[in-house]
Amino acid sequence: MSIAVFLDRDGTLNEEVGYISNLEELKLIPGAAEAISKLNDAKIYAILTTNQSGPARGYYDEAHVQDLNNRLITLLKAESGAWLDAVYYCPHLPDGVNTDYAQDCSCRKPEPGMIQEALKNFPDIVLEKSYVIGDKATDIEFAVNSGCKGILLRTGYGEKVLQGDYQELNVRPHLICRDIVEAVNRILTEVNA
């Protein structure tokens, strides 16, 4: 039986800068690579689960989302040899302008579809012992909807969420942490207790 950490991307692993059109704009949050490396060393799955509605909004094509995810993977490896065990993303948005992606789906957070997909590939994951880390209220709802523990970060949109200025936090997070570094350290303390 294994533990997974399901990670948001923007504002969690890389700096929140809005919709990224230029690949070089994707920059890691300080300490993110080392934090993921600690999960790798602890044999905890590090799985990216990210809403990426840029294609649905007509900002760029789906291949660009994949290029951004690949840049993230490259930066994690280059900085500390860290890796992601899997990458899942949702390109959909119900009211998107690109009709190929304008749909209700089960993969857009807070729906649990991406984690359900991960379970098909990693059937040893125990959800009640696993975590979701993100900077939005929808990440915490995603955790609850999936049976995981949700950790809200203060990076990205997190501080605005806590102040009530962005999304409504209707579900209490398991933890609120300064950043991905603190979140991973807290997880490792809990799982080793």
Cα end-to-end distance, the chain, whole Å: 17
- Residue 8 among the catalytic residues: yes
Assess contact for 166 and 26: CB atoms under 8 A. no
Assess contact for 117 and 130: CB atoms under 8 A. no
Length of the chain: 193
pLDDT for residue 189 = 98
List the catalytic residue out of 8, 135, 139, 179. 8
Domains and CATH numbers, the chain: 4-191 (3.40.50.1000)
pLDDT for residue 69 = 97
Written as tens digits, the pLDDT of the chain (193 aa) is 899 999 999 999 999 999 999 999 999 999 999 999 999 999 999 999 999 999 999 999 999 999 999 999 999 999 999 999 999 999 999 999 999 999 999 999 999 999 999 999 999 999 999 999 999 999 999 999 999 999 999 999 999 999 999 999 999 999 999 999 999 999 999 999 8
List the catalytic residue out of 10, 135, 139, 179. 10
Place of tokens 């997909």: 117
- Residue 100 among the catalytic residues: no
pLDDT for residue 66 = 97
Those residues whose C-beta lies under 8 Å from the C-beta of residue 122, and which sit 6 or more positions away, are 2, 4, 45, 47, 85, 86
Count other Cβ atoms within 10 Å, centred on residue 115.
26
